[in-house]
Chains A and B, each alone.
Chain A
Amino acid sequence: MTETTVGIGGAAEGTDMVLNIGPQHPSTHGVLRLRLILDGERISHAEPVIGYMHRGAEKLFEARDYRQIIMLANRHDWLSAFSNELGVVIAVERMLGMEVPERAVWTRTLLAELNRVLNHLMFLGSYPLELGGITPVFYAFREREELQNILEEVSGGRMHYMFNRVGGLKEDLPNGWLGRAREAVADVRSRMDVFDRLVLGNEIFRGRTRGVGVLTPQTVHAYGVSGPIARASGVDFDLRRDEPYLAYGELQDTLNVATRTEGDCLARFECLLEQTHNSLDLADACLDRIAELPPGPINQRLPKVLKAPEGHTYAWTENPLGINGYYLVSKGDKTPYRLKLRSASYNNIQALTELLPGTLVADMVAILGSMFFVVGDIDK
């Protein structure tokens, strides 16, 4: 709707200013663009303009066979590659009615949780950076480095692991890896107080985030916001608990879904931090369990040509940033007929149109950072 203001003299010229945040801007980490209309420093209208990084992942899925899709799927959200792979393989396994070896299930759970920690550490570091605190990001990256090293040892990849296969994992864990992984997890946990106390305890940080950008549960439902952002608004929904996949059903004692009711930036950050702690605990629980498991296969032998039978299924997982779902429609070919991708950031970022109006430009940065998004996950 367009609004026309009629006035005489100075009043006819509106004082509104259009400010384009991005596509090249330090706080949009990537190519998100926000078109803001400002009155002074107050935002009166905000519109996220997305699509600068659209790579046509869904269309490409239709031209790749089920082995190749995994590699495409792990790229849209480059910070949660392992969890992205999981959704695809779970969907295909479900279509095939394939049973996954227990060893693979537990290892997948472990790696998914480590991936979650890696993802969250990134945001725990980058959020203070957006608020002007330049140091925490380096500490976050030290922890990331530690965990990336053990993931690299397993999969050979530091970001795009490409370790999932339909029916299991690529190969078994290396010798002695469990001990090294346990050490790394303990190391990371021992240094997490940098974020607990130094970042979260900082008075300026709290002043910048408390009561800023309050997301109501109604908005969460209306926009399909999920993940730690939704839970910070009191929407207590976590697929790991509410519809357990992998081995989460047996980890219910360790799994602690972090929730807040405030719905502000601080609550979102606290949720993320608490979830990181919990993921480290979950990783430990998985390590314990894997150590007890009897030796056995970690994947299934696959036919030379992998074809999913005709039908459709929807596989959704609790990715670090929220719910990630794949709707797989197969006509019995080597490639899917359609593979719809529901990515977390795409929905989460839409809520910005509700959150931003009425806030200051400085708050815009705080809110944008606290939406914890990956541009690839928005644009797909």
Chain B
Amino acid sequence: MITPAVSSLPAVQGLAAENLGVFGRDPWWLIIVKAIFCFAFAMLTVLFSIVWERKVVAWMQLRIGPNRHGPWGMLQSLADGVKLMLKEDLVVKGADKVVYILAPIVATIPAFMAFAVIPFGPANNEISIFGTRTPMQLTDLPVGVLYILAVASVGIYGVVLAGWSSGSTYPLLGGLRSTAQMISYEIAMGISFAAVFLYSHSMSTSQIVATQHDKWYVVLLPVSFIVYIVSMVGETNRAPFDLPEAEGELVGGFNTEYSSIKFALFMLAEYVNMVTVSAIATTLFLGGWRAPWPITAFWAGANHGWWPLLWITIKIQLLLFFFIWLRGTLPRMRYDQFMKLGWKVLIPVSMVWLMLVATVRALRNENYDFQRIVLYVGGGVLALLLLSLVVDVFRDRGRREPAESGAPGDRFDPMAGGFPVPPRPGQTLPPVPRRRPRGERQLVNATDTAETADKEQEGDNA
């Protein structure tokens, strides 16, 4: 098991060096119990959230949703899972068999692994399991968030390899899209994390939650939060960024050729990923296991004992609801549009934001007072905005001018020199008068409507 050494970095600004000594001291059986808990938590949340998604989308679409299996249709996803396991497992002839079988496994396992460092409660041995006091977290690393990033990137390989190894056209396109998509959001995602590190002075998840004791980072770093929310939807291949599996275009995308348990694994991976990224968003921006403000105001015990488990579950569920809401509302983006969003909006915005955050932190460290910081930063932002507006205005003008200067073709004389001639490029034929209506009912204003209708009739009788 991983036993992280206590960080030897010098203390920064009054904050003690990361003290991860509580982790890695559990007995072996407790580690297994915790690992199983992480797995079970992810699985149960997935089982619930599939039914929940289908119910919520059904409500949004004036339908009822699943209601046959178990009370309120709660066992629907369990039944679906069993059904998928019992289905025939096809391997297409053109597939690269080893990679083809490996791909769903590569997609699924990393999805669970990120849960190892998600804190479900405070790190000071508050709970006791069979008499052993322990933190509510499987383990933690000094580079916990980097571990999450690394593991999440491996999961994408599952999608790419599935697309490639299927030996079929639609999956290949899906796999390619997935590669392009990953590049466009992962950078922005990493930068949005960096802003959090600047505030928390740590990359360990338990420390990040610990530093959010009075203000959550969603309040302090709203831009980073939004950037992460966008890129987490991209990472999980969910609508409106479900390009690799776009069912209207690529039938099923990377999973077109998959069936039975392999397909089930891809489905599982997608939903576990949703739970994982929601848990990460909760940990990094939404105060992790901390109770929301009005509760802590009148109930001091809300953040102690087993209660934090409840708060983090609620927060994860709310984020999952957000995923479902998006899916029920938005159409799919085109993949080049998503790349544009990634490269031209998310990355520059999060870079500028990171610089601002770094500037504010540096000024604070130099003991400038708050008003002056606001002045400097606000002034900088305003100057940037003005600059971009001016650039926009000039760019528009430059674009409009050539459009206006496009001269219309000179008038066309169909009987030039006494012979009927075809129109030259840019010229149009004069309108041919429309024949009279056949019925008894005559047109109210036949002449002018017929004329306007025929204006478009151009010399294309070739």
Contact call A131/B248, Cβ cutoff below 8 A: yes
Q: Are B333 and A207 touching (Cβ within 8 A)?
A: yes
Given A130-B248, A202-B330, A361-B250, residue A244 in contact with residue B458 (CB < 8 A): no
Contact A360–B336 (Cβ < 8 Å) = yes
Query: Which residues of A in the span 214-269 have a Cβ within 8 Å of any Cβ on B?
Result: 217-218, 220-222, 234-237, 241-245, 248-250, 252
Partner of B334, one of A26, A202, A208, A221: A208
Q: Output the least CB separation between A368 and chain B (Å).
A: 10
A245–B460 CA distance with the chains assembled, in angstroms: 29
Of the residues B61, B173, B177, B457, contact of A138 by C-beta under 8 Å: B61
B334 and A363 within 8 A (CB): yes
In whole angstroms, how far apart are the Cα atoms of A132 and B250 in the complex? 12
- Known contacts A27-B249, A242-B437; is-contact A204 B442 (Cβ 8 Å): no
Do residues B331 and A242 form an inter-chain contact, with CB atoms below 8 A? no
Contact A41 B173 (CB under 8 A): yes
A361 touches B248 (CB 8 A): no
Q: Report which of A26, A204, A234, A236 forms a contact with B331, defined as CB distance below 8 A.
A: A204
- The 0/1 profile, CB within 8 Å of B marked 1, for residues 1-36 of chain A is 000000000000000011110000111000000000
Given A134-B328, A138-B63, A217-B458, A362-B240 contact (CB < 8 Å): no
Which of B28-36, B210-218, B448-456 lines the interface with chain A? B448-456
Closest to B335 in A: A362
B442-A132 in contact (CB<8A): no
Judge whether A285 is part of the interface by a CB distance below 8 angstroms.
no
Nearest CB in chain A: distance from B281 CB, A? 22
Check B456 against A234 for contact (C-beta < 8 Å).
yes
How far is A139 from B458 in the complex, measured between Cα atoms in Å? 40
- For A132, what are the chain B residues with a Cβ–Cβ distance below 8 Å? 239-240, 242, 246, 248, 330-332
**A25 adjacent to B251 (CB under 8 Å):** yes
Counting CB contacts under 8 A, is A54 at the interface? no
Q: Which residue of B lies closest to A243 (CB)?
A: B437
**CB closest residue in chain A, given B333:** A204
Kindly provide the distance from the CB of B66 to the nearest chain A CB, expressed in whole angstroms.
Answer: 16
Given known pairs A236-B456, A360-B336, the reply for A134 and B434 (CB within 8 Å) is no
Asked if residues A241 and B449 are in contact (CB atoms below 8 Å), the reply is yes
A131 to B437 Cα, complex, angstroms: 41
Q: Given A26-B247, A249-B441, A360-B336 in contact, is the A242-B449 Cβ separation under 8 Å?
A: yes
Q: Which residues from chain A contact B445 at a C-beta distance below 8 Å?
A: 252
* Nearest CB in chain B: distance from A257 CB, A: 9
Q: Does A49 lie at the interface of the complex (its beta carbon under 8 Å from any beta carbon of B)?
A: no
Main secondary structure of the interface of A (DSSP, over half): helix
With both beta carbons as reference points, the residue of chain A lying nearest to B172 in the complex is identified as A17
Chain A: minimal CB distance from B245 (Å): 11
Q: Which of B57, B172, B438, B453 contacts A134 (CB 8 A)?
A: B57
Q: How far is the CB of A109 from the nearest CB of chain B, in Å? A: 12
Chain B 161-184 interface mask (CB, 8 Å, partner A; 1/0) = 000000001101100110000000
The answer to whether the Cβ of A353 comes within 8 Å of any Cβ in the partner chain is no
Interface centre among A135, A205, A248, A252 (most CB of B within 10 A): A135
Q: Which residues of A sit under 8 angstroms from B441, Cβ to Cβ?
A: 244, 248-250
Interface residue? A364 (CB, 8 A): yes
Q: How far is the CA of A345 from the CA of B432 in the complex (A)?
A: 26
> A34 to chain B: closest CB distance in Å?
12
Q: How far is the CA of A244 from the CA of B446 in the complex (A)?
A: 11
0/1 per residue, B420-457, Cβ < 8 Å to A? 00000000000000100111011111000110110111
A237 to B334, CA, bound (A): 33
Closest to B461 in A: A221
Q: Which residues of B contact A365 (CB under 8 A)?
A: 248-249
Contact status B460-A244, CB under 8 Å: no
A17 to B170, CA, bound (A): 11
For A41, A235, A364, the residue with the greatest tally of chain B CB atoms inside 10 Å of its CB is A41
A128 to B330, CA, bound (A): 9
Give chain A nearest CB distance to B101 CB in angstroms.
Answer: 25
Across the interface, name the chain A residue whose C-beta is closest to B329: A135
Q: Is the CB of B169 within 8 A of A19?
A: yes
Is residue A133 contacting chain B, with contact meaning CB distance below 8 A?
yes
B60 in the interface (beta carbon within 8 A): yes
Shortest CB distance B422–A (Å) = 14
Tell me the bound Cα distance from A363 to B332 in angstroms: 11
Enumerate chain B residues within 8 angstroms of A207, measured Cβ to Cβ. Answer: 333-334, 337
Q: Are B437 and A205 in contact (CB under 8 A)?
A: no
- B-chain residues with CB within 8 Å of residue A290 when the two chains form the complex: none
List chain B residues, Cβ under 8 A from A159. none
Partner of A222, one of B177, B240, B242, B460: B460
Q: Which residues of chain B are within 8 angstroms of A252 by Cβ–Cβ distance?
A: 443-445
For A129, the chain B residues whose CB sits under 8 A away are 248
Q: Are B249 and A364 in contact (CB under 8 A)?
A: yes
Closest residue of B by beta carbon distance from A239: B437
Instruction: Check A362/B331 contact, CB under 8 A, given A221-B460, A245-B439, A249-B441.
Output: no
Residue in A closest to B239 when the chains form the complex, CB atoms: A132
Q: Does B375 contact A (CB under 8 A)?
A: no
Q: Can you list the 9 inter-chain pairs with the closest CB atoms, starting with the nearest? A: A132-B332, A249-B441, A133-B331, A138-B61, A131-B331, A362-B334, A217-B456, A132-B331, A252-B444
Offer 21 A-B interface pairs, CB within 8 angstroms, sorted by A: A18-B169, A19-B173, A26-B248, A40-B176, A130-B248, A131-B248, A133-B329, A133-B331, A139-B61, A204-B331, A207-B337, A218-B458, A218-B460, A221-B456, A236-B452, A236-B453, A242-B450, A245-B439, A249-B444, A252-B445, A364-B249
Q: A204-B331, A208-B332 are in contact. List 18 more A-B contacts (CB 8 A).
A: A19-B173, A26-B247, A132-B239, A134-B61, A134-B328, A208-B333, A218-B458, A220-B456, A221-B456, A221-B458, A236-B456, A243-B437, A248-B441, A249-B442, A249-B443, A250-B441, A361-B250, A364-B249
